Chains A and B, each alone.
Chain A
């Protein structure tokens, strides 16, 4: 869907027309329209024209941004290029068109835009419009002076073609027609074949030109055109801005002079600007070419080049800033790491000192524990030796003669000193049963945890035969 509202500006040698167009109900409508006649002889270079445009925009309160501009078609050239089938890349097509353009236009510096209208098996049809760069620059300069920022810039004959599409003239004539728009100072011509613009041209109507000369010129152009075309069955449409035709010509004179049997006359005044806005739509037949497109592309390229140049010049400064920032950041990071390292080293030093302290303390502790174990007997709370002696005596039955009670031998020097925890009882008995009885009594005394009989041997004494026994008694709790 096209934009809701656009501004159109039509510049010709005789007048400037500005309009605001609005898209409503599926078609463009002129909302505001203004026209200013230009004094003959003052071209687009004059400051007067810029002032007039500015004044017209101010008068109509139009936004000068994104304006669709129509320029004098006589300044531009149209050509329908019939190229061999091009299936390769766009670059190849562009090169081919450049070559064709060199053949077609005798100027070296031209600005052009094209559109691939038909890409068939036999040929590729490319409508192309071109304008001399100096002429285009004059228009652009005029726009700048007038404070207008153009969005599209197309010649008036292309506006005529789009107007024919927009107002349905082409549909009525079956897509093929020859249209001539007669302005006050310019005549635009568009030959359309099956909705494809095959020929377009504008030529000025100079002041003082005789009507017969103008008609002859027009007739000659059309006749030469008819020769190259298939037939003369096309309809001729004469379009004028108002009922009053230039050079005092009458419609009948056109009808008689021009070699077309089908003839139609239309008056299109402000509606003509619709042709400008129509190019924004999506009609399959419209010709989306814009002379600003290459200019914009060139500008972009120039800007990019300038940017690259500036970037190249600024690169040492940028590098300087980047490297300085990097150096600063690195410096900060190094400082922070150094602080961290110093702190860690300090802690490590403290830990090392603590480690030595711990190691020394552990040694002291070990010695202390040994010392504590060495005199641990002083804390001994187990039954006393005397109690054990008493229990042995009280448990000794008749028939048992005790020979000796003694503790184990002394420990060697340097060995750990332990309190007496066991006793050996050596005695005589008549029989083993008496020894066993003695053992039972010792057991029931509750004073000994272990009672073992060791080294029992039979001995013959004066009193008779006896068993010499040795008991090992472990004192309970020791």
Chain B
């Protein structure tokens, strides 16, 4: 009887040990699967990371900052130039040119509209002026226009002799406006 109990105990111990081993190996198998999954994940992350280009945010920021500075500089220059070049409201080119002929010995014999041109965001509106006079009065007149600092652009100039013998000065002057007056540069 005693021997039987002892044998039973031994068998039970053996079975418990076997069961424990099985449980442990099952856990191990699970862990192995987890490790494999993690390894795959790691590999995938690594390749993803390696495929991304190396960027230097500092360099990009510096480049952007340089561009902004350049933009600002050109804009400021442009504003300054536009102050000189753009036609001011309430100004009348014909009246002004007529005024400039006073006491110059040059006489306006014709004024006509010479069309509009659109160039890089600006509109050039041209007027053709025809004046009669001697060479020197006409030159002085041109000189007065040039020295006036008035915002016009000289498109064309011609001094020629008329069949009657007097000299004819043909001037095409343009006033410059923004293509979109409200545009903020």
Q: Hey, which chain A residues are within 8 Å of B85, CB to CB?
A: 375, 377-378
Do residues A323 and B35 form an inter-chain contact, with CB atoms below 8 A?
yes
Q: Hey, which chain A residues are within 8 Å of B157, CB to CB?
A: 385, 405-407, 420, 423
Contact string, B25-67, partner A, CB cutoff 8 A, digits 1/0? Answer: 1011001101100110110011011001101010011011001
Q: Hey, which chain B residues are within 8 Å of A358, CB to CB?
A: 60, 63-64, 67
What's the least CB distance linking B151 to chain A, in Å? 8
Question: Given contacts A417-B117, A417-B153, is CB(A330)–CB(B38) below 8 Å?
Answer: yes
Do residues A316 and B60 form an inter-chain contact, with CB atoms below 8 A?
no
Bound CA–CA A413/B125 (angstroms):
11
Do residues B34 and A365 form an inter-chain contact, with CB atoms below 8 A?
no
Q: Hey, which chain A residues are within 8 Å of B116, CB to CB?
A: 413
Do residues A414 and B119 form an inter-chain contact, with CB atoms below 8 A?
yes
Determine whether A390 belongs to the interface, using a CB cutoff of 8 Å to chain B.
Answer: yes
Bound CA–CA A330/B21 (angstroms):
26
Bound CA–CA A386/B32 (angstroms):
95
Bound CA–CA A386/B74 (angstroms):
31
Do residues A374 and B119 form an inter-chain contact, with CB atoms below 8 A?
yes
Contact string, A411-435, partner B, CB cutoff 8 A, digits 1/0? Answer: 1011111011001000000000000
Determine whether B91 belongs to the interface, using a CB cutoff of 8 Å to chain A.
Answer: no
Determine whether A379 belongs to the interface, using a CB cutoff of 8 Å to chain B.
Answer: yes
Instruction: Name the interface residues of B62-82: CB closer than 8 Å to any CB of A.
Output: 63-64, 67-68, 70-71, 74-75, 77-78, 81-82
Q: Secondary structure at chain B's binding surface: helix, strand, loop or mixed?
A: helix
Partner of A375, one of B60, B68, B82: B82
Bound CA–CA A377/B154 (angstroms):
10
Question: Given contacts A350-B57, A354-B61, is CB(A386)–CB(B185) below 8 Å?
Answer: no
Partner of B121, one of A313, A354, A367, A403: A367
Do residues B74 and A362 form an inter-chain contact, with CB atoms below 8 A?
no
Do residues B78 and A372 form an inter-chain contact, with CB atoms below 8 A?
yes
Bound CA–CA A386/B28 (angstroms):
100
Interface residues on B, range: 35 or more
Q: Hey, which chain A residues are within 8 Å of B108, CB to CB?
A: none
Bound CA–CA A323/B28 (angstroms):
7
Nearest neighbor of A386 in chain B, beta-carbon distance: B143
What's the least CB distance linking B118 to chain A, in Å? 6
Bound CA–CA A467/B57 (angstroms):
72
Bound CA–CA A320/B35 (angstroms):
12
Do residues A330 and B120 form an inter-chain contact, with CB atoms below 8 A?
no
Q: Secondary structure at chain A's binding surface: helix, strand, loop or mixed?
A: helix
Do residues B139 and A389 form an inter-chain contact, with CB atoms below 8 A?
yes
Determine whether B24 belongs to the interface, using a CB cutoff of 8 Å to chain A.
Answer: yes
Instruction: Name the interface residues of A95-128: CB closer than 8 Å to any CB of B.
Output: none
Q: Hey, which chain A residues are within 8 Å of B27, CB to CB?
A: 320
Bound CA–CA A446/B154 (angstroms):
23
Nearest neighbor of A367 in chain B, beta-carbon distance: B121
Q: Hey, which chain A residues are within 8 Å of B124, CB to CB?
A: 417
Bound CA–CA A373/B158 (angstroms):
26
Bound CA–CA A93/B115 (angstroms):
125
Do residues B159 and A370 form an inter-chain contact, with CB atoms below 8 A?
no
Bound CA–CA A407/B45 (angstroms):
71
Bound CA–CA A348/B52 (angstroms):
9
Determine whether A319 belongs to the interface, using a CB cutoff of 8 Å to chain B.
Answer: yes
Determine whether B136 belongs to the interface, using a CB cutoff of 8 Å to chain A.
Answer: yes
Question: Given contacts A354-B61, A379-B81, is CB(A340)–CB(B49) below 8 Å?
Answer: yes
Determine whether A371 belongs to the interface, using a CB cutoff of 8 Å to chain B.
Answer: yes
Do residues B155 and A386 form an inter-chain contact, with CB atoms below 8 A?
no
Q: Hey, which chain B residues are within 8 Å of A364, CB to CB?
A: 71
Q: Hey, which chain A residues are within 8 Å of B88, CB to CB?
A: none
Determine whether B176 belongs to the interface, using a CB cutoff of 8 Å to chain A.
Answer: yes
Contact string, A352-372, partner B, CB cutoff 8 A, digits 1/0? Answer: 001101100110110111111
Partner of A370, one of B53, B120, B145: B120
What's the least CB distance linking A419 to chain B, in Å? 7
Among A313, A354, A362, A409: residue with most chain B CB under 10 A = A354
What's the least CB distance linking A284 to chain B, in Å? 55
Do residues B70 and A365 form an inter-chain contact, with CB atoms below 8 A?
yes
What's the least CB distance linking A259 to chain B, in Å? 62
Q: Hey, which chain A residues are within 8 Å of B17, CB to CB?
A: 313
Bound CA–CA A351/B172 (angstroms):
51
Instruction: Name the interface residues of B99-129: CB closer than 8 Å to any CB of A.
Output: 115-122, 124, 126
Nearest neighbor of A346 in chain B, beta-carbon distance: B57
What's the least CB distance linking A428 to chain B, in Å? 11
Determine whether A337 belongs to the interface, using a CB cutoff of 8 Å to chain B.
Answer: yes
Determine whether B98 belongs to the interface, using a CB cutoff of 8 Å to chain A.
Answer: no
Q: Hey, which chain B residues are within 8 Å of A414, CB to CB?
A: 117-119
Partner of B24, one of A316, A378, A379: A316
Question: Given contacts A347-B57, A372-B74, A385-B142, is CB(A337)–CB(B42) below 8 Å?
Answer: yes
Do residues B119 and A415 form an inter-chain contact, with CB atoms below 8 A?
yes
What's the least CB distance linking A238 to chain B, in Å? 60
Bound CA–CA A376/B78 (angstroms):
9
What's the least CB distance linking A446 to chain B, in Å? 18
Q: Hey, which chain A residues are within 8 Å of B117, CB to CB?
A: 411, 413-414, 417
What's the least CB distance linking A408 to chain B, in Å? 8
Contact string, A83-100, partner B, CB cutoff 8 A, digits 1/0? Answer: 000000000000000000
List 4 extra interface pairs beyond A337-B49, A406-B159, A420-B155, CB under 8 A: A334-B42, A351-B60, A367-B121, A416-B119
Residues of B within 8 A of A (CB): 17, 21, 24-25, 27-28, 31-32, 34-35, 38-39, 41-42, 45-46, 48-49, 52-53, 55, 57, 60-61, 63-64, 67-68, 70-71, 74-75, 77-78, 81-82, 84-86, 115-122, 124, 126, 135-136, 138-140, 142-143, 145-147, 151, 153-161, 170, 172, 174, 176, 185
12 contacts between A and B (CB under 8 A): A316-B24, A334-B38, A351-B55, A361-B67, A374-B120, A389-B159, A393-B135, A404-B158, A406-B157, A417-B174, A420-B155, A420-B157
Which 3 residue pairs are nearest across A and B when measured between Cβ atoms?
A: A316-B24, A386-B143, A406-B158
